[in-house]
Chain A
Amino acid sequence: MWAYFTRRLIIAIPTLWVVITVAFFLMRLAPGGPFDQEAPLPPEIMANLKAAYGLDQPLWWQYLNYLGNLLQGDFGPSFKYKDFSVTELIAQGFPVSIQNGAAALFIAVLFGIPLGATAALRQNTVTDHAAMTVAMTGIVIPNFVVGPLLALIFGIYLRDTMFALPVAGWNNGALPNRILPVICLALPFIAYIARITRAGLIETLRTNYVRTARAKGLPFRTVVLRHAFKSAMIPVVTYLGPATVFLLTGSMVIETIFGLPGIGRYFVQGALNRDYTLVMGVTILAASMVIFINLLVDMAYAWLDPKVRYE
């Protein structure tokens, strides 16, 4: 198992290299550059700027230079946030995003799985339909609607009550500031997890081995928890892989609505500003997380299904 784990980590290096290379050249294919503005800069200033950042060199040289710097842990300076290096920007923003994302993930699992399991155990009853309607609503209403709505309710309507919550800002991670963004982030994931849990459990409850377990005279609770639950969780774990990456790398929408200093916005702003180094930085971060979390998901499969063995 550990040999397999190590091998997967080593294989991750060429994968990352491919991601870096493709991202690097794709970024450069996009028209425009980091210093283009509405009013064009005088050519001399532009030339100087480009020279300062090494953009006057041939592309292959820039690429090799970038790789060389990366190997020394240097992600380069941001082209847009001129006083910061990419490492500094990520170091500031990532903790905010990862804390909100982890909290949202925790809440999504904590509520989503019991909700889906309840619906599955009361299949086709009012409880089931109610739970699935709520879940569907959670999926179809986009969070740029839910966010302002929550802000309206807790920031305006309930302003003078004990339920009033700040609607924007990070405030050094004060708990009240985190509540609305985390709820907003978690809602669609609660919904998805509930639906997948329900489907997985309903399918498992129909299997022959659940029938065997019932024929043994085990209480239904034991049948569900001991015999059905693990297999039912396989699709949930599959979904949790990409969901975790999405949540931990921050959501531009949520961070913009609630004014949070996370890294979510860098993905979009970096690309729009042609902030080459920043885009590369967040891409490498996201790609590393995808690789690592997929590895964790594969390990979880081995735990859920003994047929899966890694040599």
Chain B
Amino acid sequence: MTSVLEIDGLTVSFSTPDGDVSAVSDISLSVDAGECLGLVGESGSGKSQTFMAALGLLADNGTATGEIRLDGIDLLSASEKKLNTLRGERIAMIFQDPMTSLTPHMKIGRQLSEVLIEHQNVDTKTGWARALDMLNRVHIPAAERRLDMYPHELSGGLRQRVMIAMALMCEPEVIVADEPTTALDVTVQAQILDLLTEVKDNLDAAIVLITHDLGVVAGLADRVAVMYAGRIVEQGTVGDIFASPAHPYTQGLLACTPRLDVETEELITILGQPPNLQNLPSGCSFHPRCTYVVEQCKSERPALEVMNNGHIKACFRPHVEA
């Protein structure tokens, strides 16, 4: 398997009136074609900003250093013009909030077809025909009628389907889904996850699934990377991560996920607050919240260490296979 998307030593920082803040610090990741990578972490852990940087969508005060290669092409050094030939065509993004992510004054058909018209030089008629085709593929009922509708005439679930259809228009090599189910009702969430599973099975695209919900990852991802305070703290196959989590943060996250098969009186939480990025704890950023903290954690940051089968962790504590 070859990696279509490789992130190498990526750091994303934002200049604020109170000084520079690093949202992402020196992370490296790769995704293979046909593979689904789950990127898990709390709000502010840098998971979204990593891929905002990849698509050149960082806010004006943000800068990214390192390398993000799409099939060998460095996205960070690419010009806006070059980037525009890749975005939508070879790498596409599905955003978190379908309610506000579609242009309110444009018909669905136009918003879908313009991707093709821009990248593949098709005429309007072909563009709309392909848009209809795509709406059918994401199982939007009465698709023909929807083409002529405006976003506010569709429900949240349908709008997210439209967003997915939009990302698929050019059959990109990489699809980044940024919290695709967070803004939706629980029943609709399940439907969208089914759709994403279908997309994954039918296309040879690499899918990056950004989420804070381990349940979503379990059903869809092949590999999981866990981020904390801008760094990757653990990465491995979905089986390894769920069966034998090595980092105390991952263990905490798993313990927090409510389960039907285990009877508990109360919801377990990770004690403490996510760290302030402007003032990160010394050593391992997680040490103030960690149950296994030792002196070394407070002064020294653990490096990523490879265990077996590509399972890596950033923790001094020796891992005992479960």
Contact = CB atoms under 8 A, between A and B. Distances in A.
A290 interface: no
B118 A213 contact: no
Contact of A306 (B56, B97, B152): B152
B316 to A, nearest CB: 39
A230 interface: yes
B80 interface: yes
A55 interface: no
- Which of the four size classes fits the interface of chain B? 20 to 34
A231 interface: yes
Contacts of B105: 230-231, 304-306
A220 B81 CA distance: 9
A217 B106 contact: no
A308 to B, nearest CB: 10
Given A212-B95, A307-B150, A218 B118 contact: yes
A129 interface: no
**In terms of DSSP, what is the predominant structure of the interface of chain A?**
helix
Contacts of B83: 217
Given A217-B83, A217-B119, A218-B118, A209 B88 contact: no
Contacts of B101: 208-209, 211-212
B104 A218 contact: no
A42 interface: no
B87 A214 contact: yes
B67 interface: no
Nearest to A209: B103
Contacts of A220: 80
Given A216-B88, A216-B118, A217-B119, A209 B104 contact: yes
A307 B153 CA distance: 8
B92 interface: yes
A207 interface: yes
A217 B100 contact: no
Given A231-B105, A304-B105, A215 B55 contact: yes
Interface string A227-241: 100110000000000
A306 B55 contact: no
B218 interface: no
Interface in B233-288: none
Contact of A227 (B85, B106, B118): B106
Interface in B83-116: 83-89, 92-93, 95, 97, 100-106, 114-115
A31 interface: no
Contacts of B118: 216-219, 222
B135 interface: no
Nearest to A220: B80
B226 interface: no
Given A211-B95, A219-B84, A227 B103 contact: yes
A209 B104 CA distance: 8
Interface in B41-94: 55-57, 60, 80-81, 83-89, 92-93
B58 to A, nearest CB: 11
A159 interface: no
A276 B95 CA distance: 63
Given A227-B103, A306-B150, A217 B84 contact: yes
B104 A217 contact: no
Contact of A215 (B87, B103, B150): B87
A226 interface: yes
A29 to B, nearest CB: 48
B115 A216 contact: yes
A231 B104 contact: yes
A214 B114 contact: no
Contacts of A307: 104, 150, 152
B207 interface: no
Contact of B114 (A207, A209, A210, A216): A216
B225 interface: no
A306 B104 contact: yes
Contacts of A231: 104-105
B93 A215 contact: yes
Contact of B103 (A123, A213, A219, A304): A213
Interface in B112-142: 114-115, 118-119
20 contacts: A123-B60, A208-B97, A209-B102, A211-B101, A212-B101, A212-B103, A214-B87, A215-B55, A216-B114, A216-B118, A216-B166, A217-B87, A217-B119, A218-B88, A218-B114, A220-B80, A222-B118, A230-B105, A231-B105, A306-B150
